[in-house]
Every structure is written in structure tokens, then in C-alpha cells.
Structure 1
Amino acid sequence: MFHIPVFLQTAGLLVLSNVFMTFAWYGHLRNLSSRSWLVAALISWGIALFEYLLQVPANRIGFSQFSLAQLKILQEVITLSIFVPFAVYYMDQPFKLDYVWAALCLVGAVYFIFRS
């Protein structure tokens, strides 16, 4: 049987969960702006359910090999990696150099959290 490494299982599930969560948090700003906030919230909660169905097993699998801090930093790197293309391509926001600086800060965070 083929064994997928813990890191790949964790990262893959977190990528998928972040796609759902990004749409749950921000997608309504584009798609549901004419609806009431309550409708947007209910639809967002429905989308977020799928995020949790992926995020919870991702963290449980990851915690078997990584510390809590390592899981959190991994999550933040993935979040930025999903958010920037979402903001630029889906929400038509301009790309900002600040995204690059934030990514460099996260590279530093990854180094410090994973160096031990």
C-alpha cells in the first residue's frame, strides 16, 4: 500500500481547507453583496463546514509529527499562499509588494519554528 508522508497529508488537507475558508470569509463580498449580511453569513457557514471537515483531520494528522507552533506557522504560510491569488485573480485586487514582504516574514517564521 502507498504511504503518503505526514507532511504531505497535512499540507494537502490544509491547502484544500484554506480554499474553502477563503471563499467563506471573503467570497460573499463579491457574490452576495446585494444580499443581507445574514444570508451571506449562513452561506459562508455552509462553506466553512467543508473547511472544518478538512482542517480538523489535517491538524490531527499533523500533530502526530509536528508541534502546535509548527502547525500554526504552516497554516499561515498556506493561508497567504491561497489568499494572494484569490485577492488578485478572483477579487480583482491589485498585487501589492506588501504581499512579498509578508511572505518573507513568514519564511523567517518557518525558519525559526522548524529549525529545532
Structure 2
Amino acid sequence: MNERILSPLLLMAANVFMTFAWYGHLKFKGAPLRWVILASWGIALFEYCLQVPANRIGSNVYSAPQLKGMQEIITLLVFAVFSTWYLGQPLKWNHWAGFAMIVVAGWLIFLD
């Protein structure tokens, strides 16, 4: 598969795991913190197994700042879906406005 496409796809998959690792436990606030931390680390292992190859492959066609900018935008998109679907906390207009500003920043990173 093309490196320009494979890298963002791997970043997207990695972000799904990381979003669950960071925020999935919020539905289980009664769970002991030590178990939540261990579960989050276990989930994050899968994120790293996708994130590291995504950046390695992507570095052949993108600069490190471009990879990071892409990562942030993908993170926001995955989080927006996660927050609404899993946590039941839809984003408000000000969240979308703030995210839009970050997308503009990401776009600027890709300019020559």
C-alpha cells in the first residue's frame, strides 16, 4: 500500500486504541485507579504497535512536524466520535470551533 495512505490509516487505528486507553475508563469511575492504570497501559501497548510503524513508514514521505500535525488532527476526529458515541458527551459549538483552529494549524504545517 502507498506510504502516503498507509501511515494515516495506521495513525487512525492507533488513535482508536489510545483514546480508549486515555478516556475509556471514564465510564467506570468506580473502578480502582490502579486497575484502570494497568488496563490503560495494556490498551496503549496496541497503540504503540501501530503508532511506531505509522511514524516510521510516514517519515519516508512526511516530515516529523507534518506527522505530528496529522496525528493531532486524527486524534481530534477520533475523539469527537468517541466522546459522542462512547461517552455520550457530544461536542458543543465551542469545542468544534477550537478543533477547527487546530485543523487550520495542521493545514499550515503542510504548506511549503
TM-score range, shorter chain: over 0.9
| Structure 2, unaligned runs of 5 or more | none
The residue number in structure 2 matching 1:26 is: 23
Unaligned runs of 5+ in 1: none
Who is 2:12 aligned against?
15
**Contact kept in structure 2, 1:84 and 1:99, CA below 8 Å:** no
Q: Tell me by how many angstroms 1:7 deviates.
A: 1.7
Give the deviation of 1:77 after TM superposition: 0.5
Taking structure 2 as the reference length, what is the TM-score of the superposition? 0.94
The equivalent position to 1:50 in structure 2, one of 46, 50, 60, is 46
Distance 1:5 1:103 in 2: 28
Q: Is the 8 A contact 1:17 1:54 kept in 2?
A: yes
Measured after TM superposition, the shift of residue 106 of structure 1 is 2.5
Identity %: 46
Q: How far apart are the structure 1 equivalents of 2:4 and 2:99?
A: 20
TM-score by length of 1: 0.91
CA RMSD in angstroms comes to: 1.1
Q: Return the offset for 1:29.
A: 1.0
- Asked whether 1:63 is paired with 2:63, we answer no
Count residues in correspondence: 112
Q: Which amino acid aligns with 1:6?
A: E
2:89 corresponds to which residue?
Answer: 93
TM-fit CA distance, 1:98: 2.1
